[in-house]
Structure 1
């Protein structure tokens, strides 16, 4: 926001949603009363659980380092939903309630297959989230996410990878090289 204002582009100096603070990225996505209300609807929010109150970028690094892949998906989906709602408020004059933004983000997060690549120290090297083209059973979604992870690992030509998933059936199918199953063509 500050960069846009410095270039002479007329923007709000005060947050158009809460009208209480100077608008910046951290305020818009994390600390505006509206944004905070949305984040507080996430019961397992790792930042709240660990008492993290940092910049948006620091929050991203914290989520990448200390949270699950599902938390990562939901974190970015909530941030996008908050930003989208702010734009709706600015350009259309009204937006959704915090509860509606939360429910929309939660529903959207369930429609992605995501993969994270970590190095031997557990540090994040790459992340990929792709929207699913349809609604699939959880097991098939896990297989598709694993496939995306393997494809992502091929780009930097990683010689060896360890595959993890919270779906024991998916891991078992890979270990057994199951080709006769309903998702065998992906394994």
Structure 2
């Protein structure tokens, strides 16, 4: 376990998420989508709502930026991590207010096991988009990998408060319950 991992400041930010205001640069349509997503049984398929949220997060007024993000995502998906990194570095420098660019760079850092870098990018994602359930659950996964179980549990609960339909987080929380941890 690395003591240099900046878990505490990011964890503090995640605890403040419910009271944070999303960046005004984000589409206002997200507000209604998150309201719909938070319902136990929304009127339409959860996947449709989630897809719309991810589409809006990935959208940008600069078409080239959108294409660059798509190329980075494709490179990550095909395992070409060294190709994705400079694309994402470029995006966060050129568009520092684009939460999804930071989130994708955090994802890449997590895959590359650069957890400290991942946490810093997760924090930037959440400063811009505090409702980013993907970034919050990524924080939980970094915590899990580094043995910070209480922080992981809290992060998963906060992510589920935003998106209660993340079944994998329900399973993780069940496995992280103090009762189950004592059985292992």
Q: TM-score, normalised by structure 2?
A: 0.26
Higher helix share: 2
Higher strand share: 1
Structure number with greater CO (CA < 8 Å, separation at least 6) is 2
Q: TM-score, normalised by structure 1?
A: 0.25
Q: Max radius of gyration: which structure?
A: 1
